[in-house]
Amino acid sequence: MNRVLHVAIIIVLVCLAPERDVRMQTRAASDALAPAPVFAVETSRGTFLIQTFPNDAPKTVAHIVALIRAGFYDGQRIHRAQPGFIVQFGDPQTRDLSLRDKWGRGEAASSGTPIGVPEISTKHKHEKGAVGVAHMGEPAQADSQMYITLAPRPDLDGLYAVFGHVIRGEEIPALLQVGDEITRVYLME
């Protein structure tokens, strides 16, 4: 009797395996077709939208989206703005004007939880409006600081993970200056 039961279980498992594989493939296909997260960055000078690239930088996008959902960027300030080069934000120290000389630097200049992997790809270049994650020399240690290129910067290709691109309000990043407030950052859901 045990042998018959054992054979019956194997037959059932073999028969269900293709159905399970089809379900998994269907779910994977629908995940791949899911729209990429878009988020808005409201600043004292206007709002711009960023389309993310979750298929090419999944951990980076997931990390940034989690920070956005937690309200991490709300109330921060721009800590780097170089005309014709980049504008950068993502340092929680920027909420405190007395720490201005430390903005963008040191261990306190991030969320404290690095992404952990460098998702650097040659697929997305540093064109005008590219959005990448900054790091202090070690790409796997990139965390909350993101930058937007204000002009094509091929010299940055292969050094930083580009995880998105500005798709609306393209003129706003170039207007931003050090100290300008990030009113809030939110997902367009």
pLDDT tens digits, residue range 149-171? 999 999 999 999 999 999 999 99
CATH class of 35-187: mainly beta
Give pTM, 2 decimals.
Answer: 0.81
> Taking 90 as the threshold, does the pLDDT of residue 70 lie above it?
yes
Confidence band for 23, pLDDT divided at 50, 70 and 90: very low
Joined together, the tokens standing for residue 42 give 């409201």
Confidence band for 66, pLDDT divided at 50, 70 and 90: very high
